[in-house]
Amino acid sequence: MRPFREALTSLVRHPVLAVLSVTSIGLSLFVVGLFGLTAHNIASALSNVEEKVEIVAYLSDEIGEARVRLTRSEIGSFPEVLSVRYVSKTEALYNASRELTEFSDVFPDLDVNPLPASLEIRLRAGHRGPEAVSAVASRISAYDFVEDVRFGRDWVNRIHTLRRIAGGAAVILGGSFALVAMLLVGTTVRMSIHARSSEIAIMENVGATAGFIQRPFLVEGLMTGLLGGILALALTYGAYRLLDRAVLEVLWMPDGWTLAGILTGGLLGMLAAGRSVRRELRSLYAI
Amino acid sequence: MIRFRDVTKHYPRSGTALGEVSFHVRKGEFVFLTGPSGAGKTTVLRLVHMEIAPTKGDVMVSRFSSSRIRRREIPQLRRRVGFVFQDFRLLERFTAEENVAFVLQVTGASRSEIKPKVHRLLDHVGLAPRATAYPNELSGGERQRVAIARALATDPLVLLADEPTGNLDERASIGVFELVRRVNGLGTAVIFATHDATLLRRYQDVRVLELERGRLVYDSGTDAAVRPPLRRAPGAPIFELLDEKAAASRAGEGAGPTA
């Protein structure tokens, strides 16, 4: 209980410093929060797009129906494959006439259906990366009655590059801001240590344990970080509401992320405080 | 209880502060540590308090040896060694009783035992009526009494006093000295660093360790014959006052000076 009381007293005793420190860590984490919001929305958009990634295998006209059924179940049993749908020549023609309305007059007049039958293969989540898609596609193209395989290789690659850039930027920006926040909390804790140097000297003089002396400062860092995290959450939520109402439909982050954000604030605060404590109180009980 | 064995303390910048000093202070003993400024008195006290380690030799305090003590054991040692400074070092934002209570809080005393103990300590040093005064409302002598009460809060085996009367006028000095004598009478050993010749002259029964340029040049406990005993200057008013105090103290506690 005492470390919390002491930490609170210390924060209340230097209100300007405390507000400055909480605000700065709050603003830093707010930037991280905004980025998290963006990253989450990008990720969710990407996964929507990715779900549509499919491989289309065009079949030769000579293949019999029994063979198609067998192949379908063979491909369906690949571990990467979610579903296999057979599109017959007739269905392909019907789809084409419906989608390409400008040619709708042409299709009924055709004597021979020029469109091939095909298998539309969708992959399971986790197997939609460029390598997995290529691997499955090449296995399918090995069937002699498969005339062509299409899977939009470039498109798959581009989606993944985008996601990697988003992830990298999150790490770099988040890391830089976290570093700034830590420096600020560290400075605040250092100032608290200096403000209490005469008390610390007396504690050391009469035999308070090192842990007893250090703990309130660690708790101060933790509290500053947690308060900063909560402030950042409030600011991020405000920004989300504003964006959602005024600009475009935005998804809110998962609860796990917000909790992790606040805890990260606390952890950063405590780490920063620990660094200051180690530096400032290095000589504690050293002879 | 406190044993210095060939203790040398060398500072990289200022050179040798203490050279091959050996002495032994027994449990409950009262010792004057004297010598001119810079002779090494404070160095001896800081070695006992284990704020610094000897360059050579060994300092033994109770069961703790300077050459073997671990960092985490030092708090335990400090609780057995009270320290009083010339400049009091009280926390200005705390009252007298809060200053004493602070020590008990930080050394883990329970809340229920703190209040009565603070009261007893302040009563013991004669400051119970001034318990709620802040340091800046107290005289120098009163502040030093609070500092003594604080140093006694952990029931130390030894009290180290570094020129505790250095900032006080004669009357206050005598009061503080008498108080320390009473503390000693209750069983706490005392190492009283001072270069106040009047105190030394007045209390010739007290063992004297004299340092000069870092060397122990005189120990009345072992070689009192090395130089003639100090004589009190007759008729000085300070001594009459001291005698009165001593008599009162003897009558009250049976533990006053025997001069």
| B72 interfacial to chain A (CB closer than 8 Å) | yes
Residues 6+ apart with CB under 8 A from A19: none
Q: Which chain B positions have a beta carbon within 8 Å of A202's beta carbon?
A: 89, 91, 102-103, 106
**Separation between Cα atoms, residue B137 and residue B161, nearest integer Å:** 23
The residue in chain B having the minimum alpha-carbon distance to the alpha carbon of residue A201 is B89
Q: Which residues of B touch A206 (CB under 8 A)?
A: 78-79, 103, 106-107, 150-151, 153-154
Q: How many residues does chain A have?
A: 287
In the prediction, which pLDDT does B231 show? 37
How far apart (Å, rounded) are the C-alpha atoms in residues B43 and B11? 11
In degrees to the nearest 10, what's the CA dihedral of B238, B243, B248, B254? Answer: 130
A205: which chain B residues are within 8 Å (Cβ-Cβ)?
49, 78, 83, 89
What B115-124 contacts at long range (C-beta under 8 Å, 24+ apart), as own/partner pairs, is B117/B153, B118/B149, B118/B153, B121/B149, B121/B150, B121/B152, B121/B153, B122/B96, B122/B97, B122/B146, B122/B149, B124/B149, B124/B152
CB pairs under 8 A between A and B: 58
Token representation of residue B220: 């009345």
Query: What residue of B is the nearest CA neighbor of A285?
Result: B71
Query: 3-state class of A237 per DSSP?
Result: helix
Separation in Å, CA of B123 to nearest CA in chain A: 21
Q: Residue A85 carries which DSSP code?
A: E
- DSSP H helix total and E strand total for chain B: 9, 10
Highest mean pLDDT among A18-27, A169-178, B94-103: B94-103
Option in B69, B71, B154 nearest A206 (CB): B154
- Give the number of other CB atoms < 10 A from CB of residue B93: 12
Q: Is the pLDDT score of B225 beyond 50?
A: no
Whether chain A has a CB inside 8 Å of the CB on B177: the answer is no
CB contact under 8 A, B50 and A209: no
Contact call for residues B206 and B30 (beta carbons, < 8 A): yes
pLDDT of residue B230: 36
**CB atoms B106 and A203 under 8 Å:** yes
Residue B28 has pLDDT above 50, yes or no: yes
Domains along chain B?
Answer: 2-89+157-253 (3.40.50.300)
Q: Is A202 in Cβ contact with B102 (below 8 Å)?
A: yes
Higher pLDDT, A27 or A102: A27
pLDDT value of position B251: 54
Q: Name the minimum distance, in Å, from the CA of A218 to any CA of chain B.
A: 17
The answer on pLDDT for B223 being more than 70 is: no
Q: What are phi and psi of A99, to 5 degrees?
A: -80, -35
CA distance A206 to chain B (A): 5
Which residues are registered as beta bridge partners of B216? B211
Q: Which residues of chain B make contact with A208, given a CB cutoff of 8 A?
A: 75, 106-107
> What would the mean pLDDT of B102-110 be, rounded to a whole number?
91
B79 contact residues in A (CB cutoff 8 A)? 206-207
Q: What is the mean pLDDT of residues B16-26?
A: 93
Is the pLDDT score of B35 beyond 50?
yes
Name the minimum distance, in Å, from the CA of B70 to any CA of chain A: 9
Beta-bridged to residue A238, according to DSSP, are none
Query: B29 vs B247, which has greater pLDDT?
Result: B29
How confident is the model at residue B233, as a pLDDT?
39
* Per-residue model confidence as pLDDT tens digits over A161-203: 776 787 787 778 778 877 887 888 888 888 888 888 888 999 9
B9-18, B162-171, B238-247: lowest mean pLDDT where? B238-247
E strand or H helix that includes residue B191: strand B189-193
Question: CB–CB of A285 and B71 under 8 A?
Answer: yes
Which among B75, B79, B105 has CB closest to A285? B75
Considering only CB atoms, which chain B residues are within 8 Å of A200? none
Q: In Å, how far is A208's CA from the nearest CA of chain B?
A: 5
| Per-residue model confidence (pLDDT) at position A169 | 77
Partners of residue B49 in chain A, C-beta under 8 Å: 205
Q: What is the percent of chain A where pLDDT is above 90?
A: 16
Residue of B nearest to A200 (CA): B106
% residues pLDDT > 90 (chain B): 66
User: Which of A206, A213, A282, A283 should one mutate to test binding to chain B, selecting the residue with the greatest count of B CBs within 10 A?
Assistant: A206
Span of A255-264, B158-167, B226-235 with lowest mean pLDDT: B226-235
* Nearest residue in B to A282, CA atom: B71
Given a contact cutoff of 8 angstroms between Cβ atoms, the answer to whether A107 and A97 are in contact is yes
Average pLDDT over chain A, rounded to an integer? 83
What is the arithmetic mean of pLDDT over B139-157?
A: 93
Q: Which of residues B9 and A264 earns the better pLDDT score?
A: B9
- Write the CA distances from B241 to A32, A47, B36, B206, integer angstroms: 74, 94, 26, 19
Residue B236 confidence (pLDDT): 31
Edge-to-edge, what's the strand order for the sheet holding B2-11? B15-25, B2-11, B56-61, B64-65
Q: Which residues of A touch B66 (CB under 8 A)?
A: 287
pLDDT at A274: 92
What is the pLDDT at residue A228? 92
Q: Using a CB–CB cutoff of 8 Å, tell me whether B1 touches chain A.
A: no
Amino acid at B141: G
Instruction: Grade residue A235 by pLDDT with cuts at 50, 70 and 90.
Output: very high
pLDDT in the model for residue A53: 65
Q: How far apart are CA A142 and CA B132, in angstroms?
A: 94
Sign of CA dihedral B138, B139, B145, B147: positive
Chain B residues close to A1, C-beta within 8 Å: none
Asked if B72 and A285 come within 8 Å (Cβ–Cβ), the reply is yes
Res. B52: pLDDT tops 60 = yes
Question: Using 50, 70 and 90 to split pLDDT, how confident is the model at B228?
Answer: very low
Among B50, B75, B76, beta carbon nearest to A287: B50
List C-alpha distances in Å: A25 to A104, A230, A242, B210: 63, 10, 22, 58
Q: Is B254 on the interface with A (CB under 8 A)?
A: no
Contact (Cβ atoms closer than 8 angstroms) between residue B188 and residue B217:
no
Task: Kindly tell me the number of DSSP H helices and DSSP E strands found in chain A.
Answer: 9, 4
pLDDT for position B130: 94
Domains annotated for chain A, with CATH where assigned, are 2-48+159-280 (no CATH), 54-150 (3.30.70.3040)
Tens digit of each residue's pLDDT (9 = 90 or more) over A102-136: 666 776 777 778 888 888 888 888 887 778 888 88
